[in-house]
Structure 1
Amino acid sequence: MLQEARRIAEEVLFPAALEVDAGDRVPESHLALLAELGFYGMADPEEAGLDLPDRASALRLLEILAGGCLTTTFVWMQHHGAVRALAESRNRTLQQNLRPDLRDGKRRAGVAISAAVHTGPASLQAQQVVGGYLFSGTAPFVTGWGMIDLLHTAARDAEGSLVFALLDAEENEGVTAEPLDLLAVRASGTVTLRFHRHFVPRDKIIRVLPQTDYLQGDAESLRFNGALALGVAGRAISLLGEDAGGLTAELDEARDDLVNATPEDVPAARATGSELAMRAATACAVHHGSNTLLPGTHAQRLVREATFLLLFGSRPTIRAELLGLLTNGR
């Protein structure tokens, strides 16, 4: 699986990364290739053919693909939360109807859960009604719009429980989408979704659980997001060549830290990787000189992507660690 990921990254994703960066969506051929090779099923515990024996292998796979094309990887990785949630759901009908197609990539999923799961007031609320729930509010950053079929969505009810559902990824009377112009990964189809008393029938519900229970496992999602920064750092280091200096050793150390960090230490490991990506991308820009100021260069793309990853999927603990690194030095 890792060998296949390296081949895809070097032969397919990286050669097209600048074209994707300038485009308005990830090529269907990229996503179809990942589906054909089984990459959409890696989060399903029943998928026996993926040959990913441990956390380190899964993180390394994400890193490799992100080093090929962050935008493609960013869209693809949103899918896996829905796969895992559906595999663990007690909604057997939903499992039987959707799990095989999700695992095979015949149907693809995005995610809209951060608006409800973070601490503080939820920007997406759930109101229980006869037959299901009404979802109201905003999901600020939803990726893959126009390239996904289903949306793994969470809203918070008045009792503080999270209501997770698998919704059709389409606009209707209750859901509207506003495209976002991001600093990087612009072809990721990232939008703001607004829910207007959108009815979610009970048969679309994956699970309901207290917010506190969900947050106990939040470190693992932060850990996997951190692999994206290592992929950008690794690509920048490869483009630096002999000028990379000690960055290669730092990347190895950051990779080990991300794999082995306890849940309490994941924010620090995540911050270390993101800061390293920023330094490596900046060094790459300096190495390539004034041409980096022009569009259509990998160095410029990597600087923008590294900046994006400083801010994407952050938490107060990560932000504090990052500010310490950036203002006080290593």
Structure 2
Amino acid sequence: MSIDPEARRAQLVESAYRIADDVLFPAAAEVDRTGSIPDSHWTAIADAGLFGIAAPVESGGPGLELYQVLEIQEVMASGCLPTVFTWLQHHGVVISLAGTPNALLRDELLAPTMTGELRAGVAYAGAVPTPPRMRATRVDGGWRLNGYAPFVSGWGVIDLLQISARDVDSDDVIAAILPVDQPSPEIAMTPLHLGVADATRTVALAVDDLVVPDDRIVSRVGHADFFATQNIGLRINGTLPLGLVRRCTAILDEIGHSTAARGLRERGSAVRVRLDAAITDHDALIDARAAGAQLAVDAAAALIAADGGRGLLRGAHPERLAREAMFTLVAASRPQLKDLLVERFSARPDAHTP
């Protein structure tokens, strides 16, 4: 018996709250300590249908509104940041496959990525800067990729990688989806050991004359169109600091600091409104994204101050959340965002109030 579409969407949102609070958060300290995300996390997320939340109805997806997708992602981020940061990358690949003109690639990979049978990650960063770090050159039957992707999360966790590069001739952005289960002599992988969220299994990739056939190309878009879509990614990444604020305020409530928790929640609501209002305004979105990251740092600092010395013990929730708040300052960032955060943190205390 098929479930009513509206009930299905409500069920997905409810599942996110349950998994964040009952599955992810209780294990977050252990994930941080071991640097490893348990398979049971991925099973719970897959069983709840949360790998396919970004897929449109016409592709078999739930047809969630953007605000529902963002709510799910924000709530999940309050559970375990390394798990959710790795999982967030997956949705970009689902969206690419759902919209690709490459029907054979879509038919092969979309369904198993929507169910979580295949987990996916992305390497966009090589195509973002100018000049780009990752370049694509047209060859017979495909493209030759050369360059560097400085931060790629999920290595050893993901099955597929969507890698983007800029065409040396047209500056179009070429995106390919590759399996990562077999070593390739054209790809050199260097593990990066992070002081926080090390369980994201982040690596740097150097690509040397990797030839990708046309049947692995998921998209080719103009340079301007590629950057126009980056606003959605910025908004999605804004769910990470707001998720941390949710968790910090919940703990503040538990330890008797409800007034502080209420004030931080009000600031979080204001940031959320700014993020949503700025979805088509890149500069305003960057400003709101900076406000969110600054708020996460403030919330974690308030929690440590409230909890006292025990909050500094390695593995304590306040200590871990403080490090994770720092992660949101730089993860999935852009030079403009970094500059704005430097300005905010070095300004007079009354100069900026997110």
- Taking structure 2 as the reference length, what is the TM-score of the superposition? 0.89
Counterpart position of 2:189:
177
CA distance in 2, matches of 1:161, 1:89: 16
**TM-superposition CA deviations, 1:160-187 (whole Å, max 9, x none):** 1111000112431111211111121101
**Residue number among 127, 132, 137 corresponding to 1:122 in the alignment:** 132
Counterpart position of 1:164:
175
Q: Does 1 or 2 have the higher relative contact order (CA < 8 Å, sep 6+)?
A: 1
CA distance in 1, matches of 2:63, 2:81: 23
Q: Percent identity?
A: 37
**TM-superposition CA deviations, 1:143-176 (whole Å, max 9, x none):** 1110111001101121211110001124311112
**Residue number among 35, 46, 54 corresponding to 1:43 in the alignment:** 54
CA distance in 2, matches of 1:306, 1:215: 26
**Is 2:298 the counterpart of 1:279?**
yes
* Residues 51 and 15 of structure 1, relative CA distance in 2, 3 Å threshold: farther
- Contact 2:54–2:61 (CA under 8 A) maintained in structure 1: no
**TM-superposition CA deviations, 1:12-43 (whole Å, max 9, x none):** 11100000111232111101111111111111
Counterpart position of 1:251:
268
CA distance in 2, matches of 1:99, 1:133: 22
CA distance in 1, matches of 2:291, 2:195: 21
Counterpart position of 1:209:
221
CA distance in 1, matches of 2:70, 2:345: 25
Alignment of 1:101-116 (within 5 A): 101-116=112-127
- Contact 1:127–1:133 (CA under 8 A) maintained in structure 2: yes
CA distance in 1, matches of 2:126, 2:136: 12
CA distance in 2, matches of 1:185, 1:303: 12
**Is 2:279 the counterpart of 1:268?**
no
Instruction: Report the 3-state secondary structure (helix = DSSP H, G, I; strand = E; otherwise coil) of the residue aligned with 1:138.
Output: strand
Counterpart position of 2:328:
309
Instruction: Report the 3-state secondary structure (helix = DSSP H, G, I; strand = E; otherwise coil) of the residue aligned with 1:103.
Output: helix
**Residue number among 138, 143, 147 corresponding to 1:133 in the alignment:** 143
Kindly state the Cα deviation for residue 261 of structure 1 after the two structures are TM-superposed: 2.1
CA distance in 2, matches of 1:185, 1:275: 18
Counterpart position of 1:150:
160
Kindly state the Cα deviation for residue 296 of structure 1 after the two structures are TM-superposed: 1.0
Aligned length: 328
- Contact 2:55–2:62 (CA under 8 A) maintained in structure 1: no
CA distance in 1, matches of 2:62, 2:301: 35
List alignment gaps of at least 5 residues for structure 2: 1-11
What CA RMSD, in Å, does the superposition of the two structures yield over aligned residues?
Answer: 1.5
Kindly state the Cα deviation for residue 249 of structure 1 after the two structures are TM-superposed: 1.1
Counterpart position of 2:198:
186
- Taking structure 1 as the reference length, what is the TM-score of the superposition? 0.95
4+ residue stretches of structure 1 with deviation over 4 A? none
Kindly state the Cα deviation for residue 320 of structure 1 after the two structures are TM-superposed: 3.5
Counterpart position of 1:29:
40
CA distance in 1, matches of 2:62, 2:21: 20
**TM-superposition CA deviations, 1:113-160 (whole Å, max 9, x none):** 1111x2311111112111211111111111111011100110112121
CA distance in 2, matches of 1:204, 1:38: 26
**Residue number among 219, 222, 227 corresponding to 2:234 in the alignment:** 222
CA distance in 1, matches of 2:250, 2:174: 44
Amino acid at match of 2:138: Q
Counterpart position of 2:22:
11
CA distance in 1, matches of 2:326, 2:279: 26
Instruction: Report the 3-state secondary structure (helix = DSSP H, G, I; strand = E; otherwise coil) of the residue aligned with 1:152.
Output: strand
**TM-superposition CA deviations, 1:249-308 (whole Å, max 9, x none):** 111212222222242221111111110000000111111222233211111111111001
CA distance in 2, matches of 1:102, 1:222: 22
**Residue number among 241, 249, 255 corresponding to 1:237 in the alignment:** 249
Amino acid at match of 2:197: V
CA distance in 2, matches of 1:98, 1:45: 15
Instruction: Report the 3-state secondary structure (helix = DSSP H, G, I; strand = E; otherwise coil) of the residue aligned with 1:120.
Output: coil
Instruction: Report the 3-state secondary structure (helix = DSSP H, G, I; strand = E; otherwise coil) of the residue aligned with 2:51.
Output: helix
Amino acid at match of 2:292: G
* Greater mean deviation of Cα atoms: 253-262 or 126-135: 253-262
